[in-house]
Amino acid sequence: MLRLHAPQVLGALVRRYGHFAEAEDSVQEALLAAARQWPAAGVPDNPRGWLIKVASRRLADQLRADEARRRREEAAARLTPRDGLAAPPPGESRAPSADDTLTLLFLCCHPALTPPAQIALTLRAVGGLTTAEAARALLLPEATAAQRISRAKAKIRDVPFRPPGPEDRDQRLAAVLQVLYLIFNEGYTATSGAALQRTDLAHEAIRLTRAVRALLPREGAVTGLLALMLLTQARSAARTGPHGELIPLDEQDRGRWDRAAIAEGTALVEEALSEGPAGPYQLQAAIAALHDEAARAEDTDWPQILALYDVLVSRAPDPMAELGRAVALAMAEGPEAGLAEVSRLERRSADGPADRQPGRHRLEAVRAHLLERSGDAVGARAAYQRAAQQTLSIPEARYLRMRAARLGP
């Protein structure tokens, strides 16, 4: 519950006061107060309103302690409607345009920040990821991610919120969508910890994407991203066994897939592809739809998936998309073709920048899978073991070690 309310409370304070860093500190204090008081006193009827009230008081006290900050607070108050902090009654929903989390989302993607800073800050403030999790989501060293977040907070410290205008809408929307996608990915496959999935993050990413689409219903990229999330999340119930163990796509019980989500996602894919040139989210959603429409793993239309990956990597080169293409190539033309592509990607990434390198354990896991399919049990076992050593996800490591053990000593 606290994870859900935190970005909404922070968005409300930033709308009212500005002072991003100070508002974030006040929200953390309010969350600590809630963690101490609610177990004994009970959760209030309007928990978000309670948190906003407590955080607002603490932030106001802090601002009043400094004359310069007091003047900035008054200026922000004159620019913000009086009801900016009004929380809705329990059970009453708010329009997407009034969603404080959405407000915070677009603020974090302010044009004063570079795109990498926008993404890092939003992952931390809106997605609730730790700095280490944000770093792994961005394929960056933790120190680099921490530096980006710190600089971004300092840069927007005194920036008043304003809705995106025509001159910067596309840039800010692109950053918003990338952030939502990264948050969803962290929820669907956690980069560390004992659980394979963090459903709260995945559901929050879907909720926010629905809110963005309500504001921009004819934007193909937004529709495509929502379709991609729904089609991917539809498989979540079948991805783990009774003890939390990972179950790969080709071994999942497809009867456990969420058919309602698949139907909605498939309809959204068709709509997204009709709204203009297909971008990366529309293409990835189309790939996900082909997986979900196959009644059995062996019915998957791999040649069509490979064709979509060819278009995807030509229009929007990305390390993970290129690795996905290597898998599709192997499934369509044989494991040797896939292994040659993996080796090519590895050679290229070794000489390239950090943001052009896919997660090392994922590359090793794909190599292991393709080596196993080619009959090289010794090489596959070694690659599975390397992948298990490199991942920070306990379920992934357990699964990779199990695959290695099945291949013998």
- 183-224 pLDDT tens trace: 899 889 988 888 899 888 899 899 889 989 988 899 999 999
Phi-psi region of 345 (alpha: psi -120 to 50; beta: other; left: phi over 0): alpha
* List of residues 6+ apart from 392 with CB closer than 8 A: 136, 191, 192, 193
Query: pLDDT at position 83, please?
Result: 43
Residues of the chain with pLDDT below 50 are 79-98, 354-357
Q: Which amino acid is at 139?
A: L
Query: pLDDT at position 1, please?
Result: 64
Q: Are 363 and 395 in contact (CB under 8 A)?
A: no
- What angle do helix axes 169-188 and 100-108 make, rounded to 10 degrees? 110
Query: pLDDT at position 82, please?
Result: 43
Answer yes or no: is 343 within a domain.
yes
Answer yes or no: is 307 within a domain.
yes
Distance, CA of 272 to CA of 258 (rounded, Å): 21
Answer yes or no: is 401 within a domain.
no
Answer yes or no: is 310 within a domain.
yes
If one counts the domains in the chain, the total is 1
Query: pLDDT at position 96, please?
Result: 38
Domain that holds residue 30: 2-82+98-157+168-232+258-347
Query: pLDDT at position 3, please?
Result: 67
Query: pLDDT at position 355, please?
Result: 45
Answer yes or no: is 245 within a domain.
no
Residue appearing with tokens 């009230």: 53
Pairing of strands 392-393, 192-193: parallel
Distance, CA of 320 to CA of 36 (rounded, Å): 42
Query: pLDDT at position 90, please?
Result: 43
The residues that bridge with 240 in the sheet, in sequence order, are 246
Answer yes or no: is 204 within a domain.
yes
* List of residues 6+ apart from 121 with CB closer than 8 A: 108, 113, 148, 149, 152, 153, 156
Answer yes or no: is 33 within a domain.
yes
Query: pLDDT at position 88, please?
Result: 42
Q: Are 211 and 96 in contact (CB under 8 A)?
A: yes
Query: pLDDT at position 138, please?
Result: 76
Query: pLDDT at position 74, please?
Result: 57
Answer yes or no: is 240 within a domain.
no
Distance, CA of 106 to CA of 279 (rounded, Å): 21
- Structural tokens at position 336: 């040797």
